[in-house]
Structure 1
Amino acid sequence: MESQPNNPLHGVKLATILEKLEVHYGWDGLADRININCFKSEPSIKSSLKFLRRTPWAREKVERLYLRTDFE
């Protein structure tokens, strides 16, 4: 496995990213910030992970929001 010292997401699982964002913003807040149906229509961690793993552009938006969010 290659070392990625300049990648702030290295070692962070998508599930962890999504869980932290959901706790911080809630599903409605996520839907306001990222306009995708998995956050609007009967949202769940499981269904959102399935969609984000198959949809690179949506995953990129979620990762960017995670990096911009101050969780403190």
Structure 2
Amino acid sequence: MPTIDVVIELSRDACLAHYEGRVGQVMAHSLDGRCVVFPAEALRRVVTQDGVHGRFRLTFSDTGRFVAIERIA
């Protein structure tokens, strides 16, 4: 399955907007400069009290649908 490594920097308040459903998608930039859009509900797996900060690996199906998100070093 294809993967893309991205940097996500979202404050606690920005994450709250996603959590409350006011925002349905997240836009992030990959480490190689591409713009990537994925479902905001994916953030629930990686959000902390401070928001979402760091590098993450997004996994997509062969048809381009979001599958998973994981924190990377």
Higher RCO by CA contacts (8 Å cutoff, separation 6 or greater)? 2
Point out the structure with the larger helix share.
Answer: 1
Structure having the higher strand fraction is 2
TM-score under structure 2 length normalisation: 0.28
Larger Rg: 1
